[in-house]
Amino acid sequence: MDTSNDSKNLKVEIQANINKDKNMQNDSRSPKVERSSKGTGERRTADDFYFGKLIGEGSFSNVFLAKDIHTNQEYAVKVCEQAHIKREKKVEQIVREREVMDIINTKRIPTAPFFVKLSYAFTDSTKLYFVMTYCPKGELLELIQRVGNFDRECVRFYTAEIARALEHLHSLNIIHRDLKPENILLDQNMHIKISDFGSSKILSKVDTEKIEDGRPRKSSFVGTAQYVSPELLESKNVGPWSDLWALGCIIYQMVSGLPPFRSRFIFANILRLNHEFRYSFKSDFQSQVIKVIECEARLGARDIDGYPSIRNHPLFEGLNFDSLHEQTPPEICMPEVEAEPNLWENHREPGLGNELELLLGSELKPGQSIQCQGQSIKIGDGENKTETTVVKSAKRNIADVGKEEEATRLATQEKDNQWHRFVEGNLILKQGLIDKRKGLFPRRRMFLLTTGPHLYYIDPVNMVLKGEIPWDPTIKPEAKNFKTFFVHTPSMVDRFEDINGFILHIFEW
């Protein structure tokens, strides 16, 4: 496997492309898959792949299902806009992700194949592409949400696979720092593949010496709120044990169905270890979870070579950690779900030239109108072109409601609106069904924007209040395309899809 193009060269090339250097070149001198009868020894470009449906989204990237036109091998291709990478100051993060995946590729061992593999990396004048392992069974989070919680054998098996993966990762002096169920994928055989190394840290020799002799090593905040360790919040000595904390949180979530820390005061609760067990665990479950979550007695934190204290825990009695990849995962009884969508629907020519159409799911129709920032935009009927007609909107701000009008509308709402009981006496200003997405499968919710302001979301089938998006000056909406958008809050990033399409008028809110 050719790894001659190191990450420094990739960084230079990204920055050169971002700055529109005259000598822009594609970077395909990256890890290669096995040779086939045609083309795999040559440089790769986007035109060497068919691109299918969008299967994942991040704050600065989209992930598409793709197929090599020479081998028919399926991949997950992460596509990043170089201008966005520069604007958001993410160049170092991208380079670090590439470096970590190169190390894992080079140091891959048969007993710990639990990582997404980078097969190709290349750039063009505007985008960066990472061609990686495709995991058709989706995220561990989505699986937990579908079944509610795991039984003992499932928790035992998947905890062991994650622990074995961390053993190997930490032996390479790499800390993941954002380990969570969303970043643990499942392959065709239901074995785990850890992904998303953008927040990872490659420990230097000095870092390793500090960890070994106990000297403090400060670190800036990275990761996801529900799984971040106390020492990271307090900028204390940070090391591989921070990933063990995340493992403890994941164990808790596999058993109970929810992360241990999830209130509006999440950071304070983490620092105080203020959590409660929602289920009556068997003694070995409780011991495993508490010992990993408690900062002073974290299971594995003091181990020198691997994690024998985890391997020897009663929970794993009789389980061979070094043959997990050869074992059949425990069967998980899952509820019936709608058939999975056709991820290859409407793919046409090689390359990403039809990226917008892939993002929109081919839902732009001639004659259809959308609302965008107070303007009505009509899609024209011309072939291969879009004609727009813009009509200025004279609508007032929906929050401009006087006291008398509010009282009248509240009286009507209380009488006629079935959602009134969920909004704590506030006036509903806007309501509608939106898919709140986690993993590959969305959850349809009724969203209610009210005075206050408040933004509630309801399970419309079971008529249960599922939560409220915290509203403060730091909340930030981000539209990815005409259908998908993110809402950034201090503690998390939520992803939504408007089932009617064309949601850019969300910014009016």
| 243 catalytic residue (yes or no) | no
**52-80 residue pLDDT tens:** 888 887 777 889 999 999 999 999 999 99
Q: Which two tokens stand for residue 224?
A: 């996801």
Q: Catalytic pick from 68, 124, 178, 243?
A: 178
Q: Which two tokens stand for residue 310?
A: 């985890």
Whether the CB-CB separation of 269 and 261 falls below 8 Å is answered with yes
So what's the pLDDT on residue 105?
96
pLDDT higher than 50, residue 169:
yes
So what's the pLDDT on residue 15?
55
Secondary structure of residue 116 in the 3-state scheme: coil
pTM reported for the whole predicted model: 0.63
Maximum alpha-carbon separation in the chain: 76
Secondary structure of residue 163 in the 3-state scheme: helix
Domains of the chain with CATH codes:
7-133 (3.30.200.20), 140-326 (1.10.510.10), 364-392 (no CATH), 403-508 (2.30.29.30)
Higher pLDDT pick, 203 / 369 = 203
Half-sphere exposure of 367 toward its Cβ, with a 13 Å CA cutoff?
0
Range from 64-78, 248-262, 288-302, 421-435 that averages highest in pLDDT: 64-78
**Numbers of helices and strands, H then E, in the chain:** 13, 19
Whole-angstrom distance, CA of residue 213 vs CA of residue 207: 10
Binding residues for ATP: 78
Q: Which two tokens stand for residue 64?
A: 């598409």
* Residue 221, amino acid: F
Tell me the Ramachandran region of residue 388: left when phi exceeds 0, alpha when psi lies from -120 to 50, beta otherwise: beta
**318-334 residue pLDDT tens:** 999 999 999 999 998 76
